[in-house]
Chain A
Amino acid sequence: MDSKQELAKQAERQAELEAMDPALRQALGDFKASVHAWSDAMVSRPRTVQQTVVRRTWRLVAGGVLTSVLIAGAVTGELYEHHERQMQQARFAAERTAAQQRELAAQRAHEEQDLLAKVDSDVSRDVPSALEPLASLMAEDATR
């Protein structure tokens, strides 16, 4: 922006302000000065970092607590899983023993059944020999 334009703008602004009533002009001038003073003071004010540090400390504490909770959870989970595994193995072993016992009982029952069948067959074979004469008579009647 060249100086002519700058001067023209200043003149325009001056004319605008002069057109206003003095009280308004004064008030607007004070307002502008006040905002500038406030802004300048805020820009150059010392910044405090205390709150940030406190927040960081809280974050560290919260992080530590969270980590502890996670570790405790992991350990508890692992223990629970181990316990569950042992219980399952015990259940499997009990089931296996029960199955073996059932198999043994079934085998015994089968053997007993075989033995009884053998006894029956032995007895049934003896009976016809005792009735042999009657059988031969029946055979003779048939040939006649």
Chain B
Amino acid sequence: MATAEEIAAQQFSDTVASCRPQIFRFLLASTRDVDLAETLTQDCLLKAHRNWSQFRGESTVMTWLMRIAINLQKDHWRNRRLQFWRHASANSVDVEEASSWLPSGQSSQEQQLLAREKVAHVWRAVEGLSERQRTVFLLRFVEEMELSEIARSTGLSEGTVKAHLSRALAKVRAELGGK
């Protein structure tokens, strides 16, 4: 017979396993660093496992995990700013490499090239966003989260989320228009 701990662990494993790819994707888009995104994803799941008993179900598991991931990411950048003598993160891929990934559809070579250019423009705009704007933008347009979920994940009000999103979109639009 399984103990209560084993049941809780199994329940955690089942619930969280489905969220892992989404957490990793968000962190990868935020950092453009595969190794860092994997490390932060692991840290996120570890932290979630430790605090699983405190999860009351007031939000979805995804929102809760995303909040942990955002906080871990913030801590990471804060620590890196303090440790300025360390080798700066050179693992982040550049915009060109990041935009080279496109789903293999039936589109022609020309269309693929065009799409790649557009993606590179969006990456450049994302690069110029503030940390909050970038987080809100990625959660909305890559993870397709609702404004209320984004607000809960980031700890901001819905109004603030809308404002950040609007500014982020304006910058993306400007980058696309300026090509």
Contacts and interface: CB of A to CB of B under 8 A. Distances in A.
Interface in A1-53: 9, 13, 20-21, 23-24, 26-28, 30-43
Closest 9 CB pairs of A and B: A38-B101, A39-B25, A31-B122, A27-B118, A30-B115, A37-B101, A34-B119, A37-B103, A35-B29
B176 to A, nearest CB: 6
B18 to A, nearest CB: 13
Nearest to A47: B38
Interface residues of B, number: 26
Interface string B120-149: 011100000000000000000110101000
B119 A31 contact: yes
Interface string A41-79: 111000000000000000000000000000000000000
B39 to A, nearest CB: 13
B142 A35 contact: yes
Contact of B24 (A21, A30, A31, A43): A43
A13 B140 CA distance: 10
A31 B176 CA distance: 12
Nearest to A30: B115
Given A31-B122, A32-B142, A38-B28, A24 B102 contact: no
Interface of A: 9, 13, 20-21, 23-24, 26-28, 30-43
Given A23-B176, A37-B101, A39-B25, A31 B34 contact: no
Given A38-B98, A43-B21, A26 B118 contact: yes
B173 interface: yes
A31 B141 contact: yes
Contacts of A30: 102, 115, 118-119, 122
B101 A34 contact: yes
B172 interface: yes
Contacts of A9: 146
B99 interface: yes
Contact of B173 (A13, A24, A32): A24
26 contacts: A13-B144, A21-B173, A24-B172, A24-B176, A27-B119, A27-B121, A27-B122, A30-B102, A31-B118, A31-B119, A31-B141, A32-B144, A34-B98, A35-B25, A35-B28, A36-B103, A37-B103, A38-B28, A38-B98, A39-B21, A39-B28, A39-B29, A41-B101, A42-B28, A42-B34, A43-B24
Contacts of B176: 23-24, 27
Nearest to A28: B141
A9 B148 CA distance: 11
A28 B173 CA distance: 10
